[in-house]
Structure 1
Amino acid sequence: MKIHAVSLIIASSLLAACSTANHVQRIAGADTVVPLHQEGEQAGRYHNLYPGKKTYPISCESDCYPSNANLICETPGENCLYQGAQLAPQLNTGYTVRWLGHAGFMINTPNGQQVVFDPVKEQFDSPVDLAFRLASGFYRKPGDWLSESELNNLDAVIYSHIHYDHFNKADIESIGNKPRYLTPLGMADNFPTGGFNISEMAWYAKTKIDDLTIHALPAHHFSSRVLVPFIYEDNDKDLWNGWLLEQNGSTLFFAGDTGYSQHFKDIQQKYGDIDICLMPIASYYHEENGNWYRYVHTTPEDALTAAQELNCKVMIPWGYGNSSWKMGDHSSHSALLRLLHMYDEMKSQIPLYILNEGQSVAL
């Protein structure tokens, strides 16, 4: 009986801990942008700053994926390792960047804070996870992940939007409620309960963690959450953000999922030249919906153009790789092959640094 009573007490305590309400703060107001439709069928839904038909400064039209001697692959464009000789720019920003894979980054800031962008360990939340395994037959390889020490010492977890390849509830539960979570507007109601400290931020809002300033910035994308494979709900109910870290006068920009638009020039005009730019280069290709895919994702040449407009002192690409979702791409590394090709074709002057999953660079 005593054992049974103790078990009940433990179970009750666990249930109480799991049901602890989250603390949600909304950061918006003067000098911020809340891009909501005000009328019509889309009233109350978010929109991009620069909608409508797009023109792109440059587009690769043919022979966009030539092989590259620095990219060693098991088969063409698949299961690859980049091994080109690289010299990291001597920026002396104090930031260290580790790529976890796909959109995930672990950042050590100049003054010692630990920040992670879009960490996703598992592919989908349950039960969608099982449904996609059965329906699509595709399951991504896991990327790099955070050590126990890193998980215990995170200062902030920052999400760009609610799509599964950027946000997973199970991972949030394993990270725990010690760090502060920063999200776009509307995203907090996608979190599990458990006493999480969540700040929803409008575009151009800012907040601080000690002396680290974090700016929420525009992106050109969309949001939705899949219920079962290929059936979506809540289109554009939640906002989508890029992010800027600023400390000791040095800046690091994480673009989030985004298509090319005027917002890159806006960011540079507001914040000046950017030291480190983490730029997406994948998921733009689709045989049937290519125009729409590119509308909300940057091609490698779009990313290079955006990096030029931001006047990045170094560009680190993401979205490709052995732990990518390969959504809308020829292969796991086709986007990187196209980037390397277009970098030469465009005679880009922006320093480029290529990471494999799990690798770090001090900048």
Structure 2
Amino acid sequence: MKISTLTLLAISSLLTACGTANHIERIAGPNTVVPQHKDGKREGRYHNLYPGKKTYPISCENDCYPSNTHLQCEEGSENCQYIAEQVIPKLNTGYTVRWLGHAGFMISTPNGQQVVFDPVKEQFDSPVALGFKLAGGIYRKPGAWPNKQELENIDAVMYSHIHYDHFNKADIEEIGNKPRYLTPLGMADNFPTGGFNISEMAWYAKTSINDLVINAVPAHHFSARVLVPFIYEDNDKDLWNGWLLEQNGSTLFFAGDTGYSKHFRDIQTKYGDIDVCLMPIASYYSKDDPNWYRYVHTTPEDALTAAQELNCKVMIPWGYGNSSWKMGDHSSHSALLRLLHMYNKMDSKVPLYILNEGESVQL
């Protein structure tokens, strides 16, 4: 079989790209926080700002998942669509938010940059996806993945941490090495090779893409890669972040996976009231270890409390949905049912906007 010169050149180019070393920079220094243990068995591993036993301002104890006429479901709280008419807050921030499913968002900034948070197209990286399925885990329906043209126009990809449902190597290879990748400290060595431009950032570090200011901010979580999701081994070799965007005086906050802690107040103290808050509301319960799950994931009422402390002008929840893994939750939309219930019970004053996967809103 004859192979054309053009085919050989294409293969050569592909092999060269795959072998191209990544460019990695570390952004830390004065006025940033690198929360590493200084001595003992965990020397060099990262830790949360506020460890230890938690007390929570409010907890739903009974009847936490009442049905809601605004949620149209095929059965129970599975395979649902939020159908209520909603008033879009008149914020004039210039941000457009599109929910890709689970923790994934595509953001159009006020001046037109395209950035993505925690994109995961389908399943976990191989072979963990297969193992998860064989072990009886939920095999996720694909999310609302950007089309080819959208992928080609991405300016930045931001990851909150290395857990499989937030970081997928196959997706990085599909997105390509045109965007700038921003991560917590230590994450770059998890990337495939291919000439990717990666900035690892300490807490409160900042960088810019043209006039878009990107801040890495604390979260209350942990990191592990090899054994997740079978055993939540607290490895903590790599840091975990939230992200705060600033442009034209408007702010957008992506909390990442996080439990409730004082770090939310710290963020508000440093950056002021937040315009748009993308807040997690799922994966907070397991009958085997409920205290641990809530320790590192916000319940819907924790997310509402955090949004109040951040003085969010609008809160958009995530983590539930038809393309979620339903990890730690009762069903695809149980977390949303609990959020709607607690929003009324707490008489929350933070404006709430609910998206279905694939939907967008201009704020």
Is residue 2:201 matched to residue 1:201? yes
Correspondence 1:168-183 to 2 at 5 A = 168-183=168-183
TM-score (norm 1): 0.97
1:148 counterpart residue number: 148
Tell me the SS of whatever aligns to 2:173.
helix
- Paired with 1:308 and 1:5, the residues of 2 have a C-alpha distance of 62
Following superposition, the deviation at residue 135 of structure 1 comes to: 2.0
Give CA deviations for 1:67-97 in whole Å, capped at 9, x if unaligned. 0000011111111000011001000000000
Q: Is the 8 A contact 1:131 1:229 kept in 2?
A: no
**CA shift digits 1:164-219 (9 cap, x unpaired):** 11000000000000000000000000000000000000000000000000000000
Q: How does 1:204-353 map to 2 (within 5 A)?
A: 204-227=204-227, 230-231=230-231, 235-353=235-353
One-letter amino acid matched to 1:315? M
The 10-residue stretch of structure 1 (289-298 or 126-135) with the greater mean CA deviation from structure 2: 126-135
Aligned twin of 2:86: 86
User: 1:252, 1:276 within 8 Å by CA — same for their partners in 2?
Assistant: yes
Percent identity between matched residues is 81
Please tell me whether the aligned partners of residues 284 and 293 of structure 1 are also in contact (alpha carbons under 8 angstroms). Answer: yes
Contact 2:100–2:144 under 8 Å retained in 1: yes
2:122–2:141 contact (8 Å) kept in structure 1: no
Q: CA deviation at 1:126?
A: 1.5
Shift in CA distance, 227/10, structure 1 to aligned 2, threshold 3 Å: farther
Query: How far apart, CA to CA, are the structure 2 residues paired with 1:277 and 1:159?
Result: 16
Q: Distance in 1 between matches of 2:14 and 2:340?
A: 51
Aligned-partner SS, 2:226: strand
**Counterpart residue number, 1:24:** 24
The CA distance in 2 between the partners of 1:297 and 1:197, in whole Å, is 30
Which stretch of the first structure deviates more once superposed, 228-237 or 50-59? 228-237
Does 2:164 correspond to 1:164?
yes
User: SS state of the match for residue 225, structure 1?
Assistant: coil
- Corresponding residue number in structure 2 for 1:57: 57
Following the alignment from structure 1 to structure 2, what is the Cα–Cα distance between the partners of residues 64 and 229? Answer: 26
Q: Which amino acid aligns with 1:173?
A: E
SS of alignment partner, residue 199 of structure 2: strand
Q: 1:310 to 1:6 in 2, by over 3 A?
A: closer
Letter in 2 for 1:299: T
- Look up the SS of the partner of 2:134 in the other structure: helix
Shift of 1:233: 6.4
Paired with 1:292 and 1:209, the residues of 2 have a C-alpha distance of 37
In structure 2, relative to structure 1, the CA distance for the partners of 1:173 and 1:93 (3 Å cut) is same
Take 1:95 and 1:278, find their aligned partners in 2: how far apart are those partners? 12
Unaligned runs of 5+ in 2: none
Amino acid at match of 2:151: L
TM superposition shift of 1:132: 1.8
Q: Deviations over 1:207-236 (max 9, x none)?
A: 000000000000000000134862566710
Quick one: distance in 1 between partners of 2:357 and 2:9? 43
* Aligned-partner SS, 2:304: helix
Cα deviation, 1:84-128, whole Å, max 9, x if unaligned, reads 110010000000000000000000000000000000002111122
- Kindly state the Cα deviation for residue 138 of structure 1 after the two structures are TM-superposed: 2.5
The alignment's TM-score, normalised by the length of structure 2, stands at: 0.97
How well do the aligned residues superpose, as a CA RMSD in angstroms? 1.5
Instruction: Quickly say closer, same or farther: Cα 1:231–1:292, change in 2 above 3 A.
Output: closer
